[in-house]
A and B are shown apart, each in its own frame.
Chain A
Amino acid sequence: MAKVPKPNELVFDYNPPQKWWMDTKPEFRPGTWCYPGKAKNAEVLGLPNPREWSPLDEDWKLPSNWKEIIFEGMRDCLNKYRSLRVFMDICVRCGACSDKCHFYIGSGDPKNMPVLRGELLRSVYRKDFTLAGKIMGRIAGARELNEEVVKEWFYYFFQCTECRRCSVFCPYGIDTAEITIMGRELLNLLGVNIDWVLGPAANCYLNGNHLGIQPHAFKDMIEFFVEEIEAVNGIRIEPTFNRKGAEVLFITPSGDVFADPGTYTLMGYLMLFHEIGLDYTWSTYASEGGNFGLFTNHDTMKKLNAKMYAEAERLGVKYIIGGECGHMWRVIQQYMDTMNGPADFLEVPRSPITGTVFDNAKSTKMIHIVEFTADLIRNGKLKLDPSRNDHLRVTYHDSCNPARAMGFFDEPRYVIKNVCNNFWDMPPNCIREQTFCCGSGSGLNTDEFMEMRMRGGLPRANAVKHVHDKHGVNMLSCICAIDRAVLPPLMDYWVPDVDVTGVHELVGNAIVMEGETERTTDLRGNPLEGMEDMSDEDL
């Protein structure tokens, strides 16, 4: 594992190198690349060319006809995706995207400018698929495909978190996430991928979730949180699993089951559903909201996502509620119904508590828990005591995918403002559709990539620091499980004293439950404001 430099040891140099970009090669320095995909995981997923290999080796053990594979793969993608065709042809290199990428801001590496990330692929496209490129070569911005290019693709397509911030600023809507997705699709044809994506995807395929939690353990873990909740307010919750005939299937990323602080968010879900008496079930088979297939290739994404509808149909539920997760919602919003729908066996979601019909999800039949909760609050169905979050001074990180693939901005803010008294937004260039990535999305949330994660997370952290210094913000809320896993180390690195929470943890703190004992602590066991002495006595 690479030693991570201290914040003051990081150098930021934005001067482009002397050599032109076609003549520079990436340096596989520890901390800037992720470990390669293991053969056993590739085999589980049926991916090509499973083998043990290392990016540090000269020989990447590519298939002997690898050039042909890339050429055919690229042709296939061009014929399947208009996005790719158009994006390959129309970039004018105006550079509006260049300083919008958190990895460029954090690294100064010009190939992390979205425009050059695109050129990495475009240059090969020109050589093989355009007349000008074939004849004029470099002058037309074309270059020969060779192993060095594949290595460069690996380096930079796994230094993009597919956050789509650049796409907001592009005058033609060129979406670098789409280019990275195609790049990874091609790389996977050669068996070039990273294990932090492949491992979770393989786990999810066999066990139902990225972390490989088996059914009995999944149930155990959730029951552990039931006890935790009972310790906080004396309420005993009885969640059900794989129950046929429930009205709602609830699916959330397994990260929330596994590790702090996501687990507190999960406690919030349990408390909310119990309090409103929702007839719902968990599933151990569809126990993953996230989808690392999105970071692998199209087929893997579809494979993993198929479980949601399949399980909803098997259990006979009416509709699905999804938990707080970022890329999960990209898949649900923009891919699921198309890939694995239509979900004719489900009904248009209707809140049994408020009667609200969610017409915005009338085809997909899956709603976001935050919109569900916002509707409950709006209709006065929850008894809330926001003062229980008074010890927190909160800001909100718009997670990339709900932001730029949905436009999910006001719902979470509405919920937060109803459960918290102290809320400040970060500056406008850093929130909503212009939100900065955590720096660890799209399967790059692995420890060996820590230096790049800290660099890429700098723009987000810097905006948090701004509200921390100005308003004393000490809690960063978000609606993404990867965020909840990666923002704590990012905050420790750049803005110590700021903690990370999911929105439903804040809801769980504030919700006044029927028959509960007086709370002295929040869900984390920290004393509530004015209760510092009480909890001491308890101890």
Chain B
Amino acid sequence: MTTAPVRTPLAERLAAELGTDFGPFFGTPCGILAPLYRSLEEEAGLLTVAREDNAVGVAAGAALAGRAPVVLMQNSGLAQSVNALASLVVPYAIPMLLVVSLRGVDPDPTPENTVMGRLTEPLLDSLGIESTTLTDPLDLDRARHLVHGERRAAALLVPPTAFGWSA
């Protein structure tokens, strides 16, 4: 057994903000995102899917039904999801918000994550998925505009320490 992730003020505020006009929520767990994951599970309901590209596929189904889904994933799972994004989400113009943690980015020194840490932003850029980085105070205007206004995918990048994670 491990203890439940702590709740943090920023994660709680982000969960509350997202809960106002996004959903449903899907995800594959990540340590950096754990506080947000917990807040969303408790307040909005979140369906855990065993693999990130499947989560993107399920979210695509919800988006086709008119919703504005959110998928939480580690950037390693973004790598796993490249084909789902490149051949489904982008060409079919399916709206969803990807909340992607930045493993392998300072101060995460783990060598198994460094390459993907380096690749995350250029990869999203090449996919044609605009990304913004989580800030405090929160600013979700751009993500909202892309997902709700333009009905396309967008990404919100979460740096390692945003919710208190340490290596």
A binds B: no
Q: Which residues of B approach A to under 8 Å, CB–CB? A: none
A contacts, CB < 8 Å to B:
none
